[in-house]
Amino acid sequence: MKTEKSKTPLFEDGIKIIETIKKKTNNSPDIIIKKLTFSNNDLYLVFSEPLCDKKIINEYILEYFEESNIKIRKNEIVDYLNQNIPTHKTTKIDSFENLFYNLLSGFTIIIIDGSDTAISIENKSKLDSGISEAKNEVIMKGPKDAFTENYESNLGQIRRRIKTENLWLEEVVLGEKSKTKVGIFYIKDIAEQALVDNIIDKIGKIEIDAIMGSNYIIELISENKRNVFPNYLSTERPDLVAMHLLDGRIAIVVENTPYAVIIPALFVDFFHSTEDIYQKTINISYTRIIRIIALIITLLVPPIYIAITTYNHEAIPESLLINFAAQRSGVPFPTIIEALFMLVTFEVLRETNLRIPSTLGNALSIVGAIVLGDAAVSAGIVSPIMVIVIAITAISGLSVSSFDIINGIRWWRVIFIVAAALSGLLGVLLAGIAFIVSLTSIKSFGIPYLAPIAPFINKFHSDAVFLTNKDKFYHRSKLTASKNPHRSKGE
């Protein structure tokens, strides 16, 4: 931690400490300082009003000092209080940096006049909205709880699912100004130690003034900065995190972020859903194939349509070609302009829909239906078939639940469309090669992104595209969990 380097020790004089606090916080009105007397000694209670639970201060701390009339020696007060204050967690503080960190994290600080050690008492008030249902990763069966902004509660939700002592947590505080807690979870006897060390090391080296969310950390430690495809899974579901921890992956939980991040993530992971754990395995394989087909459709339907209507007319049955020709006959623009127009309109609508307050949603969907629908056709701007092409593309694009990968695929869709417009099916082929080259060249924290498909690892297809039955589902992924490769006693 950066803060450890330059520590300023506390003064012995309590009044001097209080003056320093007042000076550094510019007499901030939310910082309350109360003077008490204990065993003939002056004590100062310092806490931040909005962050602390006033009930605890009133009922336990203030009452305790009022009622106790024990006499002890001056130099023993710190130890005595540290042990005897009726609260679950007390820590000793000996530097100003620590003092401010604790004070602004919601601790109550007791400064003892004449001692260079202060005591902090944990009495944070609950500032989050409590555990609520997952809103973005909705599933039918399975638990409904989701991560919240509260760091401790998030840790608890993971701990609750994996009760082994081998679930280890490394905690670092990042951000010069924000002092955000970052927890790195991994299961000691499954995860690769080298990967864990590497990631902890990288995270420890981060120098930034504030961490606003988990993606800050990923962007700072990832080697895959330029590629549009994500090498991390971000999820609001603790059960998904638990599942991946059991596969030897590493979860990063960041204070104030209702999302945990799982690394390393592979390409196939984005076609898995949390739902998959709770459904019949044989049906999940079908669903996953549908998801992959949807990916191919959303990527390839517009470029192939453009290619066959502007270059490769011989590649489709003639009755279909006549249909296309009939529908195109009234449209004044080239097919590529038509396609880009519709695509941009759809993307704008989607973006608007995400940001718009839900009360305006109805109005938007009416307007959207007009722009992307029959009215656009009768206005002669687009052909009906193009509406269908873009609609299929849009629907298929939404079937892959991960937002991160869809955002990446949007780039590639445009590349494919431009390639198709420049040289037809040949262009689509070239763009396809580029797409695959780009995917295979990614390494997700040292692991080939397309594994276990390329390189093909037969053994680990038990949970790649097809999900085998649970009784045959022995293997963890070799790539992330080689030292403890079997889930059950089988094999």
Least distance to other proteins from the beta carbon of 428, Å?
Answer: 12
Least distance to other proteins from the beta carbon of 357, Å?
Answer: 36
Least distance to other proteins from the beta carbon of 314, Å?
Answer: 4
Report the residue number, 242 or 372, with the smaller CB distance to other proteins: 372
Q: Cα–Cα distance between 473 and 464 in angstroms, integer?
A: 11
Q: How far apart are the first and last CA of the chain?
A: 45
Length of the chain (residues) = 491
Report the residue number, 131 or 321, with the smaller CB distance to other proteins: 321
Strand partners, 47: 32
Least distance to other proteins from the beta carbon of 328, Å?
Answer: 5
Report the residue number, 29 or 317, with the smaller CB distance to other proteins: 317
Least distance to other proteins from the beta carbon of 336, Å?
Answer: 10
Report the residue number, 232 or 416, with the smaller CB distance to other proteins: 416
Report the residue number, 186 or 305, with the smaller CB distance to other proteins: 305
Cite the DSSP H helix spans in 332-488. 335-355, 361-371, 374-378, 384-399, 403-441
Least distance to other proteins from the beta carbon of 225, Å?
Answer: 14
Report the residue number, 200 or 426, with the smaller CB distance to other proteins: 426
Least distance to other proteins from the beta carbon of 340, Å?
Answer: 15
Least distance to other proteins from the beta carbon of 349, Å?
Answer: 23
Q: Cα–Cα distance between 26 and 139 in angstroms, integer?
A: 49
Q: Cα–Cα distance between 199 and 212 in angstroms, integer?
A: 19
Q: Cα–Cα distance between 272 and 288 in angstroms, integer?
A: 7
Least distance to other proteins from the beta carbon of 335, Å?
Answer: 7
Distances (CA, A) of 350 to 135, 364, 368, 413: 18, 10, 9, 16
Report the residue number, 270 or 324, with the smaller CB distance to other proteins: 324
- Per DSSP, the residues of 404-444 read HHHHHHHHHHHHHHHHHHHHHHHHHHHHHHHHHHHHHH-EE
Report the residue number, 405 or 417, with the smaller CB distance to other proteins: 417
Report the residue number, 232 or 305, with the smaller CB distance to other proteins: 305
Least distance to other proteins from the beta carbon of 412, Å?
Answer: 16
Q: Cα–Cα distance between 51 and 31 in angstroms, integer?
A: 10
Nearest CA-CA partner of 36 in 74, 65, 2 = 65
Give all strands of the β-sheet with 180-187 in edge-to-edge order: 167-174, 180-187, 250-254, 260-263, 233-235
Strand partners, 172: 182
φ and ψ at residue 490, rounded to 5 degrees: -55, 160
Least distance to other proteins from the beta carbon of 369, Å?
Answer: 17
Under a CB-based contact definition with an 8 Å cutoff, are residues 120 and 135 in contact? no
Least distance to other proteins from the beta carbon of 379, Å?
Answer: 10
Under a CB-based contact definition with an 8 Å cutoff, are residues 185 and 168 in contact? yes
**Residue indicated by tokens 């623009």:** 333
Report the residue number, 104 or 325, with the smaller CB distance to other proteins: 325
Report the residue number, 384 or 485, with the smaller CB distance to other proteins: 384
Which residues of the chain form contacts with other proteins (CB under 8 A)? 309-311, 313-314, 318, 321-331, 334-335, 377-378, 380, 383-384, 419, 422-424, 426-427, 430
Report the residue number, 330 or 361, with the smaller CB distance to other proteins: 330
